[in-house]
Amino acid sequence: MDKRERFMRYLAGEPVDRVPVAFFHHFTERNEWLKGLKDPAIFEKNIAGHKAAREKFDPDVIKVMNDSLMIMPVDVSFVQKPSDLRDIKPPLPGSPFFEKSAELTKRALAFYEGNEAPRYITGFSPAMILKTAMNLTFAALPGTKTLLQQFADEDPDSVAAALDIIADSVTALDEMLIKDCGAEAVYLSVNNQKNYFSSEFYRAYVTPSEKKVLAHANGLSDMTFLHICGYAGLSNDLSLYTDYDAAAFNWAVHAEGVSLSEGRKLFSGKPVCGGFEQATVIYTGTREEVEAYVYGILDEAGQTGTMIGADCTVPTDIDDTRLEWARQACVKYAEEHR
């Protein structure tokens, strides 16, 4: 099978010749994230990272890592009370953010010319975008609550209105990147790590904006991937997402304590991806240890509807040769279990 056929059979829950592998990592440092609009060097570093990684490892799944732009910038500096959130104006088509996002996507995907693997963009939920904007702009309040959490208590409808406004910009961005820039589908990141919002608030006021983005993404492609972002103890309540309509699901197996086979049951038998922690065996283990870990995952989850990956992004400085170790372990496992 070529990569395209293998991946589509994975999504369809059909047997594959060997399990596909999908590890992703950033190409810039954390302190460089989101700075690509103002710093051309960081923007170029982000793009160059795709080229270097491509030369070292030929991926089963291509995902544009938009580190230098990443979370959509939203100006909340004028916000003083919850109702002010109703007046936020996220970037729209024609804005510098949209234009640089298009440039990054086109230039990154150019390195994969002739590669038949599916091509994803990295997307972020409206809640993640709003949280980032608020946390970057306002210092934490005394005690344990952020300003956004306080606003959620005081005026949840205004928070929901802001999320809906952001959702419209997210869907416009997704549409541009897929229709005009060579991408095929959205890899959508959502989270409610450590119960940032109560489950009741999340379902009533956050979920609608995320489902709006998902529905639009599903209209663009039948390959939408939901990444429930957790790692290193930052866990999520997976029950918040069991009725989300995505083609496949990835979550932090180790942070949540939910294996791939258990998660597959939670998500109605949909295809699943993951199994590795971010910075343990895949990052530091020997080849034999990586192979043994892959075998353990596949013994537990099976080879149908399973893709090997990690809880979240693996370390930026990982040797991409290690990803080939995991893939070759899948090849060997398949040969031994025919």
User: What's the predicted TM-score (pTM) here?
Assistant: 0.97
Residue type, 37: L
Kind and range of the H or E run holding 228: strand 225-228
Class for the domain spanning 3-336: alpha beta
Domain ranges of the chain: 3-336
Are the beta carbons of 21 and 326 closer than 8 angstroms? yes
Q: pLDDT band at 144, cuts 50/70/90?
A: confident
Which tens digits make up the pLDDT trace of 186-219? Answer: 999 999 999 999 999 999 999 999 999 999 999 9
Q: Which long-range contacts (CB under 8 A, 24 or more apart) does 230-233 make?
A: 230/191, 230/193, 230/255, 230/256, 230/311, 230/312, 231/255, 231/278, 231/311, 231/312, 232/278
Order of strands across the sheet that contains 248-251: 21-22, 306-310, 272-276, 248-251, 225-228, 185-190, 119-124, 62-64
pLDDT above 90 for 9? yes
Which tens digits make up the pLDDT trace of 287-306? Answer: 999 999 999 999 999 999 99
List the structure tokens of 194.
């450590």
**Position of tokens 């399973």?**
306
pLDDT above 90 for 233? no
List the structure tokens of 80.
């003083």
Cα separation, 148 vs 186, in Å, equals 27
Are the beta carbons of 245 and 215 closer than 8 angstroms? yes
Please classify residue 328 by burial: count the beta carbons closer than 10 Å to its beta carbon, then call 0-12 exposed, 13-18 middle and 19+ buried: middle
Residue 248's nearest CA partner among 313, 307, 192, 202 is 307
Which tens digits make up the pLDDT trace of 239-255? Answer: 999 999 999 999 999 99
Mean pLDDT across the chain = 97
pLDDT of 16 reads: 98
β-strands 225-228, 248-251: how paired? parallel
